[in-house]
Amino acid sequence: MNSSIKANSLYLILAGIFIASLVSCNLIFQKFFQIEIWIPIIGYYVFEQSVGLLPYPITFLVTDIISEIYGAKKANQVVTSGLIASLFMLLVVSIAGKVPMAPWSPVSSDIFNQVFGLSGVAVFASMMAYLFAQYIDIRVFHFWKKLTKGKHLWLRNNASTIFSQFIDTFSVLFLLCFFDVIPWDKFAILLLNGFIFKVFFAAFDTPLFYLSSWYLKRKFNLKDNEDLSNI
């Protein structure tokens, strides 16, 4: 298998992980969890957030890897594909909710609609925030890459992700509150918790980003400021 085929195969795998993570976020977002975290000086802190947040940092790690190795055009293609996949998922869920239930169905129509009934509003809110955040993430990533001439991976990884994640968190919570999916009195705490969670994972995934970039650049013989945008 030549280098071009390997690069395209890897791109498809990364795109698949990205789309699966994004669709998962929209499907599971209605369950919220609450855990107590002990923080030095502050003491115990009650952390509340949607489980839909759990796979979301993966999307930013993947777009950063694609941006670094394949270029901005390929990263934007993945973002657009994720949007189309989420809208298609919304269509499938909407049709499934309208189909009559069999008497022996393990999941009733009421339960199904309770779990997936808000998918339209959720996907709309998520997609608006998603479009803003992901495209900004790619632009900021390449701004820092150009400015630093391909060096300082940690800077563009964290600067792009943290900034875009705040925009994403604020936008999606504002829209969900606006459409009465969640109450306004939860806006501030969910915004704080969501942003803290995403900043933590932005720092946590930096070694993964370094390792992936180092390995793939070595595999495809790329220099610091090069990518595979010509394939």
Looking at per-residue confidence, does 150 or 197 come out higher? 197
Least confident of 10-24, 118-132, 186-200: 118-132
Structural domains in the chain, CATH included, are 3-97+113-219 (1.10.1760)
Please give the average per-residue pLDDT across 113-141, as a whole number.
Answer: 71
Over the stretch 57-101, which tens digit does the pLDDT of each residue have? 888 789 889 988 898 889 889 988 988 888 888 888 888 888 999
Looking at per-residue confidence, does 7 or 161 come out higher? 7
What is the spatial distance between Cα 129 and Cα 165, in angstroms, rounded to a whole number?
9
Please give the average per-residue pLDDT across 177-193, as a whole number.
Answer: 84
Assign 120 a pLDDT band (cuts: 50, 70, 90): low
**pLDDT of amino acid 11:** 93
What is the spatial distance between Cα 192 and Cα 186, in angstroms, rounded to a whole number?
10
